Amino acid sequence: MRRLISFLLYYKGFLIAGALALVVISFYIAGERSMRHAESREQTGPLKFLSLAWQVDAVAAVQEITAQWNDEHPEQSVQFIQGSWNAIHDYLITGFETGDIPDIFHYESAIVVDFALRGYVADLSPYISDELRNDILPVDWASVTRSTGEVVGIPFINESFLVLYNQDLLEEAGIIPPTFEEPWSWDDLSVAAQKLTLDKNSDGITDQWGLAMGLRRSANFIMNHSIAFGGSFFYHDEDGNLVTRVSEPEQDLLGRISSMLYEEKTMSPSSVGKSSTEMMPGFLSGKYAMLVGVGSWARQQVVENADENFRWSVMPPMKAKTQAMGLNTQTLSIPKSCTRQAKAMEFIEFLLSSENMTRLAASDWMMPARKSSLADPMFQESSNGWKVVTESAQYLSAGPWVGLPGYIEWKSRVANPVFQEFFSGRISLEETADRIEKESNSVLARYQVRGLKW
């Protein structure tokens, strides 16, 4: 009897083990089929394209060009996905980590190069046509090209900083606006701002400020304008590493802005706590005669929101030692995990043809990256500041921080907070320089230890 029981127990265990094995095999087969099905769907389904266009005309332009591609390429359609500038960074980081990432995504070069350093972004150089390569401005390529020759994004529109001015207020003060032939220096800006700062009813309160400047998150403005002063905040040491220095050129720019705020008192104090977009209503109402450091896209806000009698224009870049200014390009990139990189690049070339890039730049009120687009008559119009914007392309420069490992973290954790304290009047220029240099080391050193190289 004992032997019979033992045999039955053994046999029962064998049956259970066999059943479990069958279950495991079934799940494995099902999983393999599911994976093959997913891979097949990935190879034949639509390419996913994440766009960050947000202005109404820009969104319409991207959608219509995508629809045109789909009509002409039914064998490889593209699915348009509307993204948000406010959520894009976290969305992409999560997508890179999980593998659920669009095949083509729109972003800005300063952050795409950081993604490239982490190994997330495909090298597009093997796919770029000679026509596209030769037509895009060299300075734009410099913002997305590694020392190895890898290209991590295709530039298509440029963000540049402008000075908007109220024509009527300058005329009333007898001030002649600058031209490309006779640009203003920062001293000229200061003198004009003093003439334009007025207490119109003599009640001891300023009614009209010479200028305003959105300084709430000022790192982009400061970094890009420091180039004209001969500064850059980042320099190569004897070992070839980039180190942070706030020397005379950088302090010159910071000091001038502080002086207009607290000594000359020609800059609206509300500049400190607001962005340039938030300063726009004051400019349109005549409270500020000049609005310094706004993006070229802000001109659309003037056109759409200003009174019909409001007369305004755009100044050429101001001159310090030079008129050079940094740029941040908007780009289209492909993740390294994309299995159809060549086909995705075909769509990018289609989307960024000369004709299409002209349309995209115009709808976003920004400067196109193609030379042929810049030459389009649309961008040579003097109205709405277009000619000034496009002629300013000659002064664009890629800052030395392009591709600097840790730059994005440095800007958010060091530069913006310290500049905010300085412009709020809580710390001196000397303390600002000291803190920028010391706090930079604590952030950037971690990236240098990892051996990341652009």
**Confidence (pLDDT) at 204:** 92
Q: Which tokens sit at 299?
A: 């001109």
pLDDT tens for residues 221-258?
A: 999 999 999 998 998 888 777 789 999 999 999 999 99
Provide the token pair at 109: 């070069």
Specify if 236 maps to a domain.
yes
The residue type at 329: T
In 10 A of CB 445, how many CB atoms? 11
Structure tokens at 240: 């070839």
Whether 33 shows a pLDDT value over 60: the answer reads: no
Residue 37 is predicted with a pLDDT of 38
For residue 59, give the amino acid letter.
Answer: V
| HEC secondary structure over the chain | CHHHHHHHHHHHHHHHHHHHHHHHHHHHHHHHHHHHHHHHHHHHCCEEEEECCCCHHHHHHHHHHHHHHHHHCCCCCEEEEECCCCCHHHHHHHHHHHCCCCCEEEEEHHHHHHHHHCCCECCCHHHCCHHHHHHECHHHHHCCECCCCCECCEEEEEECEEEEEEHHHHHHCCCCCCCCCCCCEHHHHHHHHHHHCECCCCCCCCCEEEEEECCCCCHHHHHHHHHHHCCCCEEECCCCCEEECCCHHHHHHHHHHHHHHHCCCCECHHHHHCCHHHHHHHHHCCCEEEEEEEEHHHHHHHHHHCCCCCCEEEECCCECCCCCEECEEEEEECECCCCCHHHHHHHHHHHCCHHHHHHHHHHHCCEECEHHHHCCHHHHCCHHHHHHHHHHHHHEECCCCCCCCCHHHHHHHHHHHHHHHHHCCCCCHHHHHHHHHHHHHHHHHHHHHCCCCC
pLDDT of residue 166: 98
Mean pLDDT of the chain: 89
User: Based on the domain organization, do 169 and 192 belong to the same domain?
Assistant: yes
Q: How much is the pLDDT for 320?
A: 97
Residue 1 lies in a domain: no
| Paired residues of 136 in beta bridges | 370
Please indicate, yes or no, whether residues 188 and 235 belong to a single structural domain of this protein. yes
**Do 425 and 281 share a domain, yes or no?**
yes
Whether 17 is covered by a domain: the verdict is yes
Would you state the pLDDT for residue 400?
A: 83
Residues 82 and 203 in one domain: no
Given this model, what pLDDT does residue 43 score?
Answer: 62
Is 68 inside any structural domain?
yes
Each residue of 136-186: pLDDT tens digit?
A: 999 999 999 998 999 999 999 998 899 999 999 999 999 999 999 999 999
Same domain, 322 and 335: no
- Same-domain status, 254 and 172: yes
Q: Are residues 121 and 216 in the same domain?
A: no
317 and 264, same structural domain?
yes
Out of 37-41, 48-52, 179-183, 364-368, least confident range: 37-41
Mean pLDDT of 86-112: 95
Query: What pLDDT sits at residue 281?
Result: 96
Residues 290 and 423 in one domain: yes
Question: What pLDDT is attached to residue 67?
Answer: 98
Confidence of residue 194 (pLDDT cuts 50, 70, 90): very high
Report the pLDDT averaged over residues 424-436.
97
Q: What pLDDT score was predicted for residue 3?
A: 47
- Specify the residue for token string 């963000």: 159
pLDDT confidence tier of residue 32, bands split at 50, 70 and 90: very low
The pLDDT, as a whole number, for residue 375 is 94
CATH at 190: 3.40.190.10
Q: Which residue has the higher pLDDT, 327 or 72?
A: 72
Give the model's pLDDT for residue 452. 65
Question: What is the reported pTM?
Answer: 0.86
Number of domains in the chain: 3
Residue 406 has pLDDT above 60, yes or no: yes
Under the banding of pLDDT at 50, 70 and 90, the label for residue 278 is very high
Indicate the pLDDT class of residue 442, thresholds 50, 70 and 90.
confident
- 2 domain residue, yes or no: no
Residue 10 has phi, psi (to 5 degrees) of -65, -45
| Predicted pLDDT of residue 454 | 65
Q: What is the mean pLDDT of residues 323-346?
A: 96
Report if residue 310 sits inside a domain.
Answer: yes
User: According to the model, what pLDDT value does residue 316 have?
Assistant: 95
The share of the chain scoring above pLDDT 70, in percent, equals 89
In this predicted structure, the answer to whether residue 88 has a pLDDT above a threshold of 70 is yes
Identify whether residues 102 and 18 lie together within a single domain.
no
- Give residue 13's domain range: 7-41
**Is residue 454 one of the residues assigned to a domain?**
no
For residues 332 and 321, membership in a common domain is answered with no
In this structure, the answer to whether residues 427 and 301 fall within a common structural domain is: yes
Residue 6 has pLDDT above 60, yes or no: no
Split at pLDDT 50, 70, 90, the class of 404 is: confident
Q: Tokens in use for 403? A: 């591709």
Higher pLDDT, 277 or 350: 350
Six token digits for residue 239 = 């070992």
